A = this chain, B = another copy of it.
Amino acid sequence: MAETRDRILDALGTLLPEVGPAGATLEAVAARAEVSKGGLLYHFGSKEALFAGFLARLEEATAGEVERMRASADHGVETYLRISSVTDDHFTRTFLSALALIGTAEVDAAATVARVLATYRSAVEECVPDPVLARLVQLVGDGLYLNAMVGSLDPAEDDHVIARIVAMTRP
């Protein structure tokens, strides 16, 4: 069942920020997903496949987020930065989990994250004519993600930064 598969990936997503890749044991993931270890290995033949499945879903979700950016009235900049600074967003959590996967032997998470960032970058460049400014916008978003990763994010305060940047991008 595809539902079970997604439940397993969700379980991995909640587990990774809590205990890191080392703590994300097959048994731990199975327990969190309320599946047996055998059941997990039925859906994902190996830990590598499990992680790869997670990263694949991240890339799909990225496409969806970029679509949301394109559809937004302000041409996406604010939408982009808001997502980065809202830590309880599902996509943000998935992205942070992927960051936690960087450095694991099983899978090249860095490459996937790099692709995700590149996708975002093209999207930002679409709605900010000045390429230097576009890159600046993206770097601020990335900075927000890094701060979210280490848990030092004050969303209320960073609202002002976001507002400033949005103002810069529409003269």
Which residues on A are within 8 Å of B, measured CB to CB? 16-17, 19-23, 99-100, 102-105, 110-111, 113-114, 117-118, 132-133, 135-136, 138-147, 149-152, 157-158, 160-161, 164-165
| Residues of B with C-beta under 8 A to A138 | 143
- Please pick, from B132, B143, B157, B164, the residue contacting A161 in the complex, using a CB distance under 8 A: B132
Partner of A23, one of B105, B139, B158, B165: B105
Instruction: Report whether over half of chain A's contact residues are helix, strand or loop; otherwise say mixed.
Output: helix
Residues of B with C-beta under 8 A to A19:
103, 105
Is B103 touching A151 in the complex (CB atoms < 8 A)? no
Point out the residues of chain B lying under 8 angstroms from A17, CB to CB: 103
CB distance from A101 to the nearest CB of B (A): 9
Kindly provide the distance from the CB of A89 to the nearest chain B CB, expressed in whole angstroms. Answer: 17
In the bound complex, residues from chain B placing their C-beta under 8 Å from that of A165 are 136
Q: Which residue in B22, B100, B146 is a CB contact (below 8 Å) of A142?
A: B146
Q: How far is the CA of A133 from the CA of B140 in the complex (A)?
A: 12
Q: Which residues of B contact A99 (CB under 8 A)?
A: 149
CA of A22 to CA of B103, assembled, Å: 8
